[in-house]
Amino acid sequence: MTQTTADAATGKPTETDELVHLTDDQLPMILVVSQKLRNFVDLVGRFGSWFAMPLILITAFDLLIRKTGKGQVWLVENVSPYFGSTLLQELEWHSHTVLFCLVLGFGYIWNTHVRVDLVRETLKFRKKAWIEFIGLNIFLIPFTCVIVYFAFVYAYDSWSINREAGCGWYECGEVSASLVGLSHRWIIKLTLAFGLVVVLIAGIAVWLEMAMVLFGPQNLRFHLSTIEWPEAEGSTIEGKERLDLDQAPDELERRAKALAAQNASAAN
């Protein structure tokens, strides 16, 4: 095997090729579509991450007023039934569900999901790309399509329960099994279905990237979501840039110099 053939097998450009780092304006249509899908998944994930805040606040508030005893009873009777412990706990579960569902695709496009990399991390670049591509074709995309279908059936069944002729589309439907629980269960179940659709979109975005990597020109460089280019391997970990302690500036020393310069300036 010649050096040129070996480089092609590992995904590295040959000696006659020059790396071309594509800007956003230079991306071919397949990567433009991938980038737009990725941006949508990123937006949904960032929105979903904010549900960590109500989850924490509601949980802390529930624990606090539960210890007040009669104080919680007074709040329920005089302020709002939503101060009841059952309602608060169900709001906690729903907040957790929204948070979990909306960040699933976000975790994939930023390569922060759980991987078992004992074998994969030792493979060459193109073998990693083939594993990702085959995994998307055989597992992620088909399986997600199936569970998206059943998730929408699950939400529709919840919406259609107890639906009488006079009910508006936003009324009736499944309610909590608890007499003092939340209504409109179909909303949270629809959120589950939507979150799975976002996972499917994330899978398609990465599929387009892998198709370009495997079947496109080998000297083109663009953003990759789940693997690293051969020349950049080891520079990131879990989607974040790896910190090189030998080259990283000493933060304490930098602050000491800045403080000394500030004091010297004040003295003058």
Summarised one tens digit per residue, pLDDT across range 44-61 is 999 999 999 999 999 988
Between CA 225 and CA 108 the distance in angstroms is 8
Tens of pLDDT, residue by residue over 79-119, are: 777 777 788 889 999 999 999 999 999 999 998 887 777 78
> Which range among 85-89, 189-193, 202-206 shows the weakest confidence by mean pLDDT?
85-89
- Residue 167, CA distances (Å) to 32, 101, 139 in order: 44, 29, 41
Mean pLDDT, range 62-84, rounded to an integer: 77
Residue 192 pLDDT > 70: yes
Collapsed DSSP state (helix, strand, coil) of residue 237: strand
Of 203, 200, 175, nearest in space to 189 by CA: 175
Residue 157 pLDDT > 90: yes
More confident residue, 123 or 130: 130
Task: Record the pTM.
Answer: 0.80
Residues 6 or more apart in contact with residue 147 via CB below 8 angstroms: 196
Q: What pLDDT shows up at residue 248?
A: 64
Q: Which tokens belong to 204?
A: 């398609």
Q: Where are the alpha helices (DSSP H) in the chain?
A: 3-10, 29-49, 52-66, 70-78, 85-102, 104-109, 125-135, 141-160, 185-215, 251-267
Residue 181 pLDDT > 90: no
